[in-house]
Amino acid sequence: MNWLDLLAWNPPGWGRNLFFGAISTLEISFCAYALGLLIGLLGARGKLNGGKLTKRLLEWYTTIVRSVPELLLIVILFYTGTQGLNELLVKLGIGPIRINGFIAAVAVLGVVQGAYSTEVLRGAIKAIPVGQIEAAKAYGMSPFLLFRRITLPSMLPYAIPGLSNLWLNATKDSALISVVGYLELTKITQQAAGYTKWYITFYCAAALIYLIISLASLQGFGMLDRYVRRGQPKVR
C-alpha cells in the first residue's frame, strides 16, 4: 500500500472519512462562530450601555475566558457543563439526557468565541464617531433601525479584521474538541493514523486540509473587507 491508496476515496482508503471529518470541523466552527457572534453582539451592547451589574458580569466573563487556556476551558465546560445540566434536569424531575456531542462542542466553543468577539465588537462600535449615532437618534430612528442603518455598516470596517482572526481561531480551536472525543477532522486523522500506522501521511493530509480552509477563509474575508470598505479612502 502506498500513500495514495491510503488517501483514496473508498475504503480501504480514508479519503471519505477525512472529507467528512473536514465537513464536521467546518460545521462545528461555523455554528460556534455564529453563536460567538450572537453572544458578542449582546455582550458588546451590554458592556457599552448596560447597567453597572451587567458591565461587571460581562467584564468577569470576558476576562476569565480570555485568560484561561482554551484546551482547559473546553475540557472544563464539556465535562462540568454536561454533568451540571444533567444534575439540574434530575432535580427538576426530568431525568438525565444524553447530550448530543455536536451541541456540546458548539456550545463550548461558542462560549469561548463569544468572549473574544465581545471585545472585538465593543472596540469596533466604540470607534464610530458619537456624532453619527446622536444624529441618527435625533432623526428619531428606533434602536433597531439605528443599529441596522448606522451602527452595523460603520462598525464593520473596524470589526472585520478582528472577526477574520476569530474565524481562523475557531477553525483551529475546533481541533481541540477532538480531545473530548468528538469525531472531527483531527480525531478522524488520529484514528486513521493509529489504525494504519502511517502517521506522517495522515497528519500531513490533515494539516493540508486545515491550511486550505484557512487560506480560502482569508480570501473570503479579504473580499468581505473590500466590500465593507467600499467608498472609504484607501489607506496607503
First to last CA, the chain: 54
Q: Largest alpha-carbon pair distance within the chain?
A: 73
Q: Is 206 in the site for other proteins (CB under 8 A)?
A: yes
Kindly state whether residue 193 participates in binding other proteins, applying the rule CB under 8 A: yes
Q: How far apart are CA 166 and CA 33, in angstroms?
A: 8
Per CB under 8 A, the list member of 33, 37, 186, 192 interacting with other proteins is 186
Residue 200 binds other proteins, judged by CB under 8 A: yes
Say how many C-beta atoms besides its own lie within 10 A of residue 199's C-beta: 13
The verdict on 26 binding other proteins (CB under 8 A) reads no
Q: Which is nearer to other proteins, 24 or 171 (CB)?
A: 171
Distances (CA, A) of 172 to 67, 74, 169, 206, 224: 18, 13, 5, 12, 21
In angstroms, what is the minimal distance from the CB of 119 to other proteins?
Answer: 13
Q: Which of 197, 230, 234, 236 binds other proteins (CB under 8 A)?
A: 197
Q: Measured from the CB of residue 160, what is the shortest distance to other proteins in angstroms?
A: 18
152 binds other proteins (CB under 8 A): no
Q: Give the span between the Cα atoms of 190 and 29, in whole angstroms.
A: 19
* Shortest distance, position 209 Cβ to other proteins, whole Å: 9
Give me the torsion for CA of 169, 171, 112, 190, rounded to 10°. -120
- Write the DSSP symbol of residue 98: P
Angstrom distance (rounded) from CA 26 to CA 185: 9
| Residue span binding other proteins (CB under 8 A) among the ranges 85-93, 105-113, 187-195, 228-236 | 187-195
Considering only residues 32-91, where is the footprint of other proteins by CB under 8 A? 67-72
215 binds other proteins (CB under 8 A): yes
Residues that bind other proteins (CB under 8 A): 67-72, 168, 171-176, 178-179, 186, 189-190, 193, 197, 199-200, 203-204, 206-207, 210-211, 213-215
